[in-house]
Amino acid sequence: MLKPMDAEQLREYGHQMVNFVADYYKTIESFPVLSQVQPGYLRELVPTNPPTHPESLQDVLDGFLGEMLSAGINIVGFSWMSCPAATELEIIVLDWLAKLLNLPDAFLSTGNGGGVIQGTASEGVLVALLAARDKTLKKIGKDSLGKLVVYSSDQTHASVQKACQIAGIYPENFRILKTDSSTEYALSPEVVLNAILKDVASGLIPLLLCATVGSTSSTAIDPLLALGKIAKSNGIWLHVDAAYAGSACICPEYRHYINGVEEADSFSMNAHKWLLTNFDCSPLWIKDRNALIQSLSTYPEYLRNKASEANVVVDYKDWQIPLGRRFRSLKLWMVLRLYGQEGLQSYIRNHIALAKQFEELVIQDSRFEVVTPRRFSLVCFRLLPHSTDENQADKLNRALLDAVNLTGTIFISHTVLSGKYVLRLAVGAPLTEERHVIAAWKVLQEKATALLEGNVAQKPNGHAQLSNGVVEVDGALDNGVTTEQHGHVDDLPIK
């Protein structure tokens, strides 16, 4: 199995990259000051499809090195003309990734759609909402903003609420539909349809539905096929947030979780979360790129150029909130080429296998329960209480979280599902191995034993505030499952 590069590989390739950048500056005066290429030049130079196999195991470079190179060359490629390579590589690499995910052709750049790298999934849902808002208001008049309704579930990421705040959706028109264990915390199509019909009957205008594949709390999966049909028949923009679980869908055995994406208007995932690419890199695909451009375009004199005016190029400034943008496709391109489809699939499968192994350890210990079925690399579990007193159960699990995180050897987080306090163990960092998972379970078992025997050590006084801060830091990880390689924020055992 392919492994992410270790510290010594990183050192070797890092030095190579430094030399590359330094040589570039040394010879900078030999380059023309303005790029001399034609629109589309890059597509002819690279393969149409992403590589299946790692292209060269000797040359495996991580997304981190791509970021370095990007920083070193210091591109600000907001329009095609300002940096053709940055624009064209982004188009190509997002078509590649769309193919790995088997997204419908409507999301590819070859039709009316296309992909763009946003900094975060928050920006992805925001620009999708703005495109939907403006497309609808153009038809019904901008005075109707107060009638627009956005639908989500109580498991939807908070970024959708924030996007609504920014876009001016009235707070009372942001629907947080309830989920429960009967659907494993997925949105019920019936609940969604009823909410829509009720709003329409009240004279409101359903605008956008956000469906999540792999929710923050428990990796719940909203049923895209059924939701897509409802959205379509009611003229609603369907946005799919697969920030975390999208990466798993490059494996054929998990692809069915996004069946129905063909009904969506936009689809977002975070390559920086679980695809070996460092923050920030959040691809968004959209079917109607003109809706996005209509909403976000400005074209002042000082940005005018013939390439843009001929409408033969993509100007990514009109696909995002900021004007300037970094050359983020470079790191994703490096990851896709140098790991290849097989390497990335193997990486995902290994994490899921490790989580499955942890889940089995939990099941074998009758003092614990798995709270909702594990789908990917996150396990939601809790210590069972002595009695049926749920308050006592919550206290017990808070204390367990506190105790294990205080050891400093592992960091787990919590969520609340159906009112219950639930512990979460996520496997998501490149360096996690079986031994870490087993060690984490051992710490959990030991602290559980001590707790159940009423034998937990006092917190050191000097750390009172700190320990409190630490044990409830839950969600320091956006969705709690990350590929970040930093000891302080990883949501997994690393020691």
Q: Which residues contact 278 (CB under 8 A, 6 or more apart)?
A: 62, 63, 64, 67, 272, 331, 483, 484, 485
State how far the Cα of 371 lies from the Cα of 214, in Å rounded to an integer.
16
Query: Which residues, numbered 282-321, are part of the site for a copy of itself (CB under 8 A)?
Result: 295-296, 298-307, 321
Identify residues 397-436 at the interface with a copy of itself (CB under 8 A).
Answer: 405, 408-411, 413, 415-416, 431
Which residue lies nearer to a copy of itself by CB, 29 or 453? Answer: 29
Per the CB < 8 A criterion, the answer to whether 357 and 434 are in contact is: yes
Nearest to 275 by CA among 417, 377, 145: 377
- Residue whose C-alpha is closest to residue 476's, from 404, 414, 418: 414
Output the DSSP codes for 57-76: GGG---HHHHHHHHHHHT--
Does residue 202 bind a copy of itself (CB under 8 A)?
no
- Nearest distance from C-beta of residue 151 to a copy of itself, angstroms: 17
Stretch that binds a copy of itself, among 141-149, 256-264, 283-291, 382-390 (CB under 8 A): 141-149
Residue among 80 and 368 whose Cβ is closer to a copy of itself: 80
Q: How many residues bind a copy of itself (CB under 8 A)?
A: 121
Is 374 near a copy of itself (CB under 8 A)? no
Nearer to a copy of itself, 82 or 109 (CB): 82
Give yes or no for a contact between 228 and 262, defined as CB atoms under 8 angstroms apart: yes
Binding status of residue 19 toward a copy of itself by CB under 8 A: yes
Q: Is 44 in the site for a copy of itself (CB under 8 A)?
A: no
Q: Is 337 in the site for a copy of itself (CB under 8 A)?
A: no
- Looking at 11, 53, 198, 232, which residue binds a copy of itself (CB under 8 A)? 11
- Residue 197 or 466: which CB sits closer to a copy of itself? 466
Q: Could you report how far apart the first and last alpha carbons of the chain are, in Å?
A: 22
Residue 433 DSSP class: -
Tell me if 461 contacts a copy of itself by CB under 8 A. Answer: no
Cα separation, 473 vs 478, whole angstroms: 11
Window 49 to 108, contacts with a copy of itself (CB under 8 A): 64, 67-68, 71-76, 78-79, 81-83
Contact region with a copy of itself (CB under 8 A), list: 99-107, 164-172, 229-237, 245-253: 164-172
* CA angle centred on 176, ends 175 and 177, rounded to 5°: 100
Decide whether 235 or 324 has the Cβ nearer to a copy of itself.
324
Stretch binding a copy of itself (CB under 8 A), from 89-97, 161-169, 189-197, 360-368: 161-169
Which lies closer to a copy of itself via its Cβ, residue 215 or residue 341? Answer: 215
Question: Which tokens in the block code for residue 190?
Answer: 């019936």
CA pair distance 337, 51, nearest whole angstrom: 6
